[in-house]
Amino acid sequence: MSTELTVDEIELVIDSEFESRLRPHTEAEAKLFRKRVEHDGSFPAAIKYAVLGGEKYILDGHHTWKMWCELPEDTIVSPPLVEEVNVPDRKAALEWIDRNQAGRRNLDSREFNLVLGRIYNEEKGSRGGKRKGSGPKSSSNRTSDGLNSEPTKQGKSDEGPQQTAAQRVAAEYGSTPRRVEKAGAYYDAIESIRAINSKAASDIEGGTMKVSQADVIAMSKAGEESIKAGLKNLRWGKKWNEGQSPPKQYNDSFDTQEIESGKRTFNFTPHIKSLEKLMRFADDVKQVHGRVKEYVAVEKSYRELHKAMKALEGRVSA
């Protein structure tokens, strides 16, 4: 219900849990938003709030509220309007925030998947997976990647085909049931990681820790110690499971070859190629940084070792 009230006429409250569901502005976006507001002399949208327990909690418009508080008292910008959203409780308020966020165009793929996954998991939990209604039909209940999926029953009723929660959410947000289910698994995976390291989970959500959706899901299933080791690897720019797999069995043929006569001969080729690669690297560094004494010494050592290795290969193979 829209009103003509402004933020100066009612007392609004910011709830940290509600605010955490919202996409934060980047520094550039915040500057652009303020510039637009000061140019227009007004805010582009009303602040949405809900009355819960006698308090008026902001559901949408945190950036608007904070910017209004930062403007000087003599500003020519008009105070933002407010609009009440009717929700019965906190759970409904959180659901409203997620659905409002998912309908926006400024979310990137990662952010959208997080919101979509949370909506799907709440929908699945609160409504039991399927209900009667209209929407797209699914021809298969097949899943992959070990994700949990609800069975789809194409039973008919007077009101139309039955739908799974994934189908309902997919229809509402222009996605596919498969993507919705995967988004749900992604959100669950981040919550599993949050229980072990909340800072890392926030960094994954915010995109400062670079890791794919598939890797987040896989890591969350690996156990607490593996998750801790995986997060440490990611901090160092490695793959999350690097060094966690059992070491490959050493293949002696890389260094030696057994011939029919039983004579042992050494295979120099891979070592020589490695040296040649190091020589090229040293030469490239020298081209960029010039003939720095240390680079020249390194390159000289590689070349001398390469020359000795070639000579040794010739002698042993003769």
pLDDT of residue 291: 62
pLDDT of residue 47: 92
Q: Where are the domains of the chain?
A: 1-87, 107-136+156-243, 254-317
pLDDT of residue 318: 55
pLDDT means over runs of 10, the chain (318 residues): 68 89 74 86 91 93 88 90 92 89 73 85 67 34 40 42 82 86 91 90 84 90 89 86 56 41 60 75 67 70 78 68
pLDDT of residue 209: 87
pLDDT of residue 127: 56
Asked if 255 and 268 touch (Cβ cutoff 8 Å), the reply is: no
> What gap in Å lies between CA 266 and CA 256, rounded to an integer?
4
pLDDT of residue 126: 64
pLDDT of residue 89: 93
> What gap in Å lies between CA 139 and CA 32, rounded to an integer?
47
Provide the phi-psi class of 243: left if phi over 0, else alpha when psi is between -120 and 50, else beta.
left
**Domain 1-87 carries which CATH code?**
3.90.1530
